[in-house]
Structure 1
């Protein structure tokens, strides 16, 4: 409103898509983004965002696409992202993330390119473990273990 700073009295939670990509945003991703529970797509890529990925993003249970690539985000990937059971697209590449990549639900479906450029990340699916050059194996699913057991029993 033409130069006026207005503080919203409440946050609308009805948005389905927020695309703030390719701007010159800096600073951290606000925790309050986790209150936008109707979001299906969230794109903050190609900015200069810093700080950690808010754990509150795990509240976005309808989220299908999350792109935080090409920023300056640091720290570990929050375990709460395991709860995003509808996530089809994940791009956290080209940041400064570190630590073990959380496993479970949809996070098990993403490949190396979702994490490229984060030299401090390790674990499945990245190709190297803690910089030691060891190949990572995908975690065995309960279905896979049950299949092997049934196959083994069937051969007795």
Structure 2
């Protein structure tokens, strides 16, 4: 029989604050992205990942892993963005079973149009509420949680922003 490790009062307060903060911030960013760019945050994340990849192209499996999403969910999103002309999908030349997703010029234009408003919504939702020390503490805590929960146990994932921020002027 296992012993339940109940949360103490401080842990319970931390958990509830974390849950509320992530939900509120995500909802604010999602609503603004939907109203401004007409796309969900998940699509924006995929466009960002592709824009930062060599030749703006990734294997579908790598795209799903880097977006911390299921392959079926990413495949569905890519199919919709392919219909919109934002992404082209083609077979992998080195593996007949593999598929590549490539950000088109139209997709890059959509991303570049959406990026300033998206970054401002991220700044308003998260960074405006924190000083530099709080931002650093949040990053350390978030990276530890992601490393603990991700399959690879590494964070940041390859291609993610380094200590000086993203390689492009948009946040994911």
Q: What TM-score, normalized to structure 2?
A: 0.19
Q: Which has the higher helix share?
A: 2
Q: Which has the higher strand share?
A: 1
Higher RCO (CA-CA < 8 Å; seq separation 6+): 2
Q: What TM-score, normalized to structure 1?
A: 0.21
